[in-house]
């Protein structure tokens, strides 16, 4: 059986309806893999840089981010 890394298994999913655009996830991301889009909503803009640490999910006050 082939072993897969976390980068291959986990994606950052953002519910834009729940996101209020506070920017907390962007501020806490250690690899700057998140940004706010033109509507002020969080967006996963750097999946290749993301280390899937889960800080965005942990810090989101609106539960709009999930690693799955």
The residue extents of the domains of the chain are: 6-67
- Given CATH 3.30.70.20, say whether it is the number of domain 6-67: yes
Measure the CA–CA gap between 27 and 35, rounded to whole angstroms. Answer: 9
Evaluate if residue 9 carries a pLDDT over 90.
no
pLDDT in tens, 14-29: 999 999 999 999 999 9
What is the 3-state composition of the chain as percent helix, strand, coil, each rounded to the nearest 5? 20, 20, 60
Which residue shows structure tokens 């655009």? 21
Q: What is the pLDDT of residue 56?
A: 98
Report the alpha-carbon angle 39-44-50, nearest 5.
Answer: 155
This model's pTM is above 0.95: no
Which residue shows structure tokens 């509507």? 39
């Amino acid at each position: 059986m082939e072993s897969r890394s976390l980068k291959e298994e986990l994606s950052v999913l953002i519910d834009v309806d729940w996101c209020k655009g506070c920017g907390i996830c962007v501020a806490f991301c250690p690899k700057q893999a998140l940004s706010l889009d033109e509507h002020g909503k969080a967006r996963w803009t750097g999946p290749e840089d993301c280390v899937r640490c889960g800080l965005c999910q942990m810090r989101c006050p609106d539960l709009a981010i999930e690693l799955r």
